[in-house]
Amino acid sequence: MLDAASGLLLLYIDRTVLNEYTSPQAFSGLREAHRRVWRPEAALGVVDHVNPTAAGRTRTMPDPGGQLQTDYFAKNCAEFGIELFDVLHPMQGIEHVVMPELGAIMPGMTVAAGDSHTTTYGAFGALGFGIGTSDIEHYLATQTVIYRRLKNMRVNLSGRRPQGITAKDIVMALIRKIGASGATGYAIEFAGAGLGDLSVEGRMTICNMAVECGARGAIAAPDEAVFAYVADKPRAPRGEAWERAVAAWRRLKSDDATEFDREVDLPLTSIEPMVTWGTSPDQSMPISAAIPDPRTLGDADKRRDYERALDYMGLAPGQSISSIKIDRAFIGSCTNARIEDLREAAFVLRGRKVAPHVRAMIVPGSSSVRRQAEAEGLDLIFKSAGFEWRQAGCSMCLAMNDDVLAPEERCASSTNRNFEGRQGARGRTHLMSPAMVAAAAVAGRLADVRAMDVPAMDVAHGL
């Protein structure tokens, strides 16, 4: 404990993942102070933010700034002895997709990285959280970070989700319920019968987006599904070490008598497919609803936020969500670009065509996901439908590469943030699940996937 009164801790960190965008200053600081990396084997470098995703990519970045970042990143990893998955590495991909598929994330770990969606790893019973550049430097030099103790919130996922409702809909419903700052100062523990009904990849989605309601961390007790997911990964323990690990992991759960600072119940039975209409992840509603009228709000600040969001998005109060025409459709990001997400989209797209006026893209979360999708024939379904089948990377999740929206282009997106300019200057983003993006691409407007004749999805086992 650094300061008992303030709740500050010096926290040991088991693992980190570094990217080309948030690490340069940290490495420069180490170099200027003549410090080494304390445990280079506990870190992995991944190029994911600035790289192009076009099929024929090379190590040459189309943007000179991106080239400088990737070159400096490669130099830093080489000099400090950190393993690097560069843009042409067969395991390259988005950091929060690559780490779990390697088996680099296991229950009980603490993971800190220079990306807010490090909360993803809570799906494994690991505490993951984002840190700033100065914290990255401190971590690399000491294997520790200064951490403020958080309050605890339990989100109970009660009941069974209806057919066609995904993990993305669940977490979007939570964010809408408690607000974009509803979990500020908290770590969320997801629990309840509804959690066990979600695949491990679905749990990664809800932990990933927990940060969008302000949570610093998110976690779920590991169970047999988690153990089975980790067991065959390349860097998971083997033999007797595996048996000892699982025995310890089974104890990673809250006691029955645990008291939480806040409890939130989220009944899954009443959730519909969710879509954002505004410029914050909590400005969302079911696809069956209409755009809200700010004049009905008593809170003046919230009314102004709604008015600004409607103006930016080019929408009018009372307008039906399902009447909104789109220009682009994007499936990708650390939230929704794993193999189950792609299977989910393929269920909707099989035998269908993208609307003529829509440009549609699918960007796998990693090169491994891309190969698996191709082995299952999903790429053929996507290309036949009219989707572009791209290489792995963050892509259009954020306007940091050449995959961007033009001003006032409207995009149905499986990403995690819909802030002003997030996908391109004056671009308009509607967040939703991969299945809903696929439905929108076909309809040419925001659409309810439940109204389409889609067979029951078994995303865990393919088509």
Segment 398-440, tens digit of pLDDT: 999 989 999 999 999 999 999 999 999 999 999 999 999 999 9
Q: What is the CATH number of domain 151-270?
A: 3.40.1060.10
Q: Could you tell me which residues are beta bridge partners of residue 44?
A: 17, 83
Residue 7 is predicted with a pLDDT of 82
Cα separation, 155 vs 191, in Å, equals 6
pLDDT of 63: 87
The three-point CA angle 330-336-341 to 5° equals 95
Q: Which residue would you say has higher pLDDT here, 310 or 164? A: 310
Domain 8-148 belongs to what architecture?
A: 2-Layer Sandwich (3.30)
With H, G, I as helix, E, B as strand and everything else as coil, classify residue 282.
Answer: coil
Q: 151-270 and 276-451: same fold? A: no
Paired with 238 in beta bridges are: none
Contact criterion met (CB below 8 Å) for 434 and 349: no
What are the CA-CA distances from residue 80 to residues 83, 255, 340, 347 (Å)? 9, 42, 36, 45
**For the residues 293-301, what does the mean pLDDT come to?**
94
User: What tokens does 58 get?
Assistant: 């090379």
pTM for the model: 0.96
Please tell me the distance from the alpha carbon of residue 119 to that of residue 128, in angstroms, as a whole number. Answer: 5
Q: Give the pair of three-digit tokens for residue 221.
A: 């007790």
What is d(CA 275, CA 287) in angstroms, rounded to the nearest whole number? Answer: 6
Name residue 261's amino acid. D
Residue listed under structure tokens 């088996």: 103
State the pLDDT confidence band at 56, using cuts at 50, 70 and 90: confident
The CATH code belonging to domain 276-451 is 3.30.499.10
Q: What's the distance, CA 408 to chain centroid?
A: 24
Residues 240-289: pLDDT tens digits? 999 999 999 999 999 989 999 999 999 999 999 999 999 999 999 999 99
pLDDT band at 184 (very low <50, low <70, confident <90, very high): very high
Interatomic CA distance for residues 50 and 70, integer angstroms: 8
Structural domain spans, the chain:
8-148, 151-270, 276-451
Please determine, for residue 392, whether its predicted confidence score (pLDDT) is greater than 80: yes
In this prediction, residue 59 carries a pLDDT of 85
Q: Per residue, what are the HEC states of 179-224? A: CCCCCCCEEEEEECHHHHCCCHHHHHHHHHHHHHHCCCEEEECCCH
Contact residues for 250 (Cβ-Cβ < 8 A; gap 6+): 222
Classify burial at 251, counting beta carbons within 10 Å of its beta carbon; exposed 0-12, middle 13-18, buried 19 or more.
exposed
Q: Confirm if 147 and 9 have CB atoms less than 8 A apart.
A: yes
pLDDT, position 395: 95
Provide the residue count of the chain. 463
- What the block records as the tokens of 389 is 């089948």
